[in-house]
Amino acid sequence: MTKNEYGYDSADVIKSLIKWGIFVVIVAMIIFGSFYIVSAGERAVLITLGNPSDAIIAEGIHFKVPLIQTVQIFDVKTQKDEIDATAAASKDLQTVSAKVAVNYHLQQDSAPRIYREVGTGYVDRILSPAIQESVKASTAQYTAEELITKREFVRESIKQLLISKMESRGIVIEDVLITNFDFSETFNAAIENKVTMEQNALAAENKLKQIEFEAKQRITQAQGEAEAIRIQAAAITAQGGKEYVQLQAINKWNGIMPQVTGGAMPFLNLNLAGSSTSTTA
């Protein structure tokens, strides 16, 4: 055996260091394994030899027995599960695909029960299948066209179905969002053609209304002109035509008196309200 300058066996020193190292590791594991931290928005389930406790452990630093007790952390903040609901059918048997996003959170006192009944994979095991089922049940109540025009009603129907399914499982449904509806190519083409026809019909209706409006304007204008002519004709008849002829001549007179008059050409009577005397040259 070899000894160092202090008279110790090298092999014994190595063995001693290994023992001390193992001891330090064990002590560190005991120390750091004796407590755990539950962050804000989380709840913990304390598990003793595989048996979960019914106690709800809130935020903070907590102690546990190393190697005997373990901890399972559950997030109780708002979370989102987004899935593609395929192979659904509308009321008129159109194939429907929908993309749905669901906001949810766990009830704070449901963590132990969920751990016992489902485990940590509760989203894949109960929530996502429930979303698929709720989407299919809701779309079956509406025609394909209504799924587009009554989208808010469809969304609310999905939400209420999910609430009724998840409430007993300790999962609170906050909101449901339909991010997309998709139909077969044949149905999409039919919808596009219908929209085009409706737009063309609306344009034709507006054009007809414009034509009718313009026709009514022309009729009103003609009626006004006819009424004006009738009034003028009545005035001519009442005055024997004389004053009307004089009025028209005055309206056309340029203000220049004639230089020469001859024959029996009369001057106009400018005093329509007074005497009707005219002068001849």
Confidence band for 97, pLDDT divided at 50, 70 and 90: confident
Predicted pLDDT at 134: 94
Predicted pLDDT at 276: 45
Domain locations in the chain as residue ranges:
10-75, 79-183
Count CB neighbours of 162 within 10 A: 23
Q: Tell whether the model's pLDDT for residue 272 goes beyond 50.
A: no
Confidence band for 188, pLDDT divided at 50, 70 and 90: low
Please list the residues that pair with 72 across neighbouring strands.
45
Predicted pLDDT at 281: 39
Strand arrangement of the beta sheet that strand 95-106 belongs to: 79-89, 95-106, 171-183
Residue 190 CA to residue 196 CA, distance in Å, equals 10
Of residues 150 and 226, the one with the higher pLDDT is 150
Q: Tell whether the model's pLDDT for residue 28 goes beyond 70.
A: no
Of residues 45 and 248, the one with the higher pLDDT is 45
| Exposed / middle / buried, residue 213 (Cβ in 10 Å: 0-12, 13-18, 19+) | exposed
Q: What is the pTM of this model?
A: 0.59
What is the total residue count of the chain?
A: 281
Q: Which of 10-24, 191-205, 229-243 is predicted least confidently?
A: 229-243
Predicted pLDDT at 254: 62
Query: Using one digit for the tens of pLDDT, what is the confidence trace for 76-96?
Result: 999 999 998 877 888 888 888
Kindly give, in sequence order, each residue whose CB lies less than 8 Å from that of residue 175, ignoring residues fewer than 6 positions away: 102, 103, 159
For the chain, percent of residues with pLDDT exceeding 70: 73
For the chain, percent of residues with pLDDT exceeding 90: 34
Residue 266 CA to residue 276 CA, distance in Å, equals 12
Predicted pLDDT at 108: 86
Q: Which of 31-35, 186-190, 259-263, 270-274 is predicted least confidently?
A: 270-274
Predicted pLDDT at 93: 84
Confidence band for 66, pLDDT divided at 50, 70 and 90: confident
Confidence band for 43, pLDDT divided at 50, 70 and 90: very high
Average pLDDT, the chain: 79
- Phi and psi dihedrals of 150, rounded to 5? -120, 45
Predicted pLDDT at 180: 86
Predicted pLDDT at 228: 76
Determine the distance from the C-alpha atom of residue 50 to the mean position of all C-alpha atoms in its chain, rounded to a whole number.
47
Query: Using one digit for the tens of pLDDT, what is the confidence trace for 209-228?
Result: 888 888 888 888 888 777 77
Residue 214 CA to residue 151 CA, distance in Å, equals 41
- Stretch 167-195: mean pLDDT: 83
Predicted pLDDT at 158: 95
Predicted pLDDT at 279: 43
Superfamily of domain 79-183: Band 7 domain (3.30.479.30)
Q: Tell whether the model's pLDDT for residue 269 goes beyond 60.
A: no
Predicted pLDDT at 8: 55
Instruction: Supply the DSSP string of the chain, one letter for each residue.
Output: --B-TTS-BHHHHHHHHHHHHHHHHHHHHHHHTTEEEE-TTEEEEEEETTEE-SPPB-SEEEE--TTTEEEEEEE-S-EEEEEEEEEEE-TT--EEEEEEEEEEEE-TT-HHHHHHHT-S-HIIIIIHHHHHHHHHHHHTTS-HHHHHHTHHHHHHHHHHHHHHHHGGGTEEEEEEEEEEEEE-HHHHHHHHHHHHHHHHHHHHHHHHHHHHHHHHHHHHHHHHHHHHHHHHHHHHHHTTTHHHHHHHHHHH--SPPPS---TT-PPP-S-SSS-------
